[in-house]
Amino acid sequence: MNNIIAIFDSSHDAPEEIIMAAGKIPYKILGDVHTSTTPADQYLFETFCPAARSFLTEALSSSENWDGIVAAHGCDATHRHFDIWKKHVKIPFLHYVNNPFSRVSKSSRKFYKIELQTLIQALEEQYSVQITTEKLKHAISISNQVKSLLQKLGKLRESKDIPNREYFEICKKAVQEDKADLISELQQTLEIWKDRPTFPKGYAKIMLTGSDVTFPEFMDILEKAKLRVVRDDLSIGERYYAALIPDFDDPIDAIIEYQYLIPRPSTKHPSNPRLDYIFEAYFESKVDGILSQNLKFCEDYAYDSVWLSDTFKEKGIPSIHLERDFIAEDQQLFTRLEAFRELLKTQEALK
């Protein structure tokens, strides 16, 4: 065993700090775009979210390397996915956290607190540990140090030459590696990025929104099309670090508050704060346009796309919405992205 608790969620829903307070390393399952999902396809339809099928494929092949799995209620598609994992993934500990769908009612906070307390109890019983207030606060402190450094790194994208893949990879490390060990690497990376050349000419600055990006090859396609992601609201990105966990007397309340502060995904209600965050990022960073996208069969973001696109059009914001496949190389996608880049160049020339 590697002292790892794997996380299965479709956004940023699992409470990493509780896992850390149990003495474990949280590892977010992201699947592998280069690995066939045939093992998962035995249990899931081919019209099911390809990312979720890839997550299950990774769990089926790698669960022996983990001490346990914590699943959290993210999107509707993966909500009952947990039952399949419970039956077919061989692992000594598998716990489900039922995150509330609503992000406005007081009752949802009460419900969520009970869910987190239940997780704490389950971890304590399974691993014979005590998850104390002090341990939770220490875990929150470590987590906030990582998020604070990511905020500084993310900000540099607007002014420095930071390729899309580099940004993605550093965010990926934050959700898959030991955070205490990662802090020094992030500090070193920050100094390196500060010395980078200025933002390269010929590239468009874009805001990326929609389905979570779980593999760097998609970011490479954007790079090839000369589209630089300088703002986003993704879980492997700003949704993870945009807000810090507040300093409350009760660390469980702090974790709950953090979940209500982060950029809103389409999987939570209401969706309006998601749009508010996109607008704030767009105008604050003066990006050239917004790229909205959804992974094939990702219904939540596909449903929201029409509403978002219409709103962007009303505001006069250059934007495009694309549906993408779960594949490493996509020439058709690249062609459409190139066309979007040309559109942005034309509009920039008309200013």
Q: What is the pLDDT of residues 118-139, one digit of tens each?
A: 999 999 999 999 999 999 999 9
| pLDDT, position 147 | 99
Whether 327 and 228 share a structural domain: yes
Whether 227 and 170 share a structural domain: yes
Cβ partners under 8 Å of residue 187, min gap 6: 149
| pLDDT, position 350 | 45
Whether 105 and 169 share a structural domain: no
Whether 15 and 40 share a structural domain: yes
**What is the total count of domains within the chain?**
2
pLDDT band of residue 244 (cuts 50, 70, 90) is very high
Question: What value does the mean pLDDT of the chain take?
Answer: 94
> What is the 3-state composition of the chain as percent helix, strand, coil, each rounded to the nearest 5?
55, 15, 35
Report yes or no: 93 and 69 within 8 Å, Cβ to Cβ.
yes
pLDDT tens by residue, 157-178:
999 999 999 999 999 999 999 9
Choosing from 116, 131, 146, the residue where a domain stops is: 131
Residue with the two structure tokens 């779960």? 326
Whether 78 and 142 share a structural domain: no
Average pLDDT over residues 90-100: 95
More confident call, 13 vs 157: 157
| pLDDT, position 1 | 56
Whether 202 and 287 share a structural domain: yes
State which of 93-107, 180-194, 335-349 shows the largest mean pLDDT. Answer: 180-194
Q: Which DSSP letter does residue 213 get?
A: P
User: How many percent of the chain have pLDDT more than 70?
Assistant: 99
Whether 44 and 113 share a structural domain: yes
pLDDT tens by residue, 251-277:
999 999 999 999 988 888 787 889 999
- Overall size of the chain counted in residues: 351
Structure tokens at 19: 């896992």
Enter the pTM of the model.
Answer: 0.96
Cβ partners under 8 Å of residue 8, min gap 6: 14, 29, 55, 59, 69, 70, 71, 72, 78, 81, 82, 85
Residue with the two structure tokens 């598998």? 94
Check which CATH number belongs to the domain holding 307 and give it: 3.40.50.11900
Residue 113's domain comprises 4-131
User: How many percent of the chain have pLDDT more than 90?
Assistant: 85
Whether 227 and 83 share a structural domain: no
pLDDT band of residue 77 (cuts 50, 70, 90) is confident
Check which CATH number belongs to the domain holding 24 and give it: 3.40.50.11890
Q: How far apart are CA 125 and CA 204, in angstroms?
A: 52
| pLDDT, position 167 | 99
More confident call, 350 vs 61: 61
Choosing from 131, 156, 175, the residue where a domain stops is: 131
Average pLDDT over residues 284-306: 93
Whether 215 and 341 share a structural domain: yes
Choosing from 131, 153, 168, the residue where a domain stops is: 131
Average pLDDT over residues 207-233: 98
pLDDT tens by residue, 319-350:
999 999 999 999 999 999 999 999 998 876 54
Whether 118 and 176 share a structural domain: no
Whether 149 and 83 share a structural domain: no
Whether 143 and 195 share a structural domain: yes
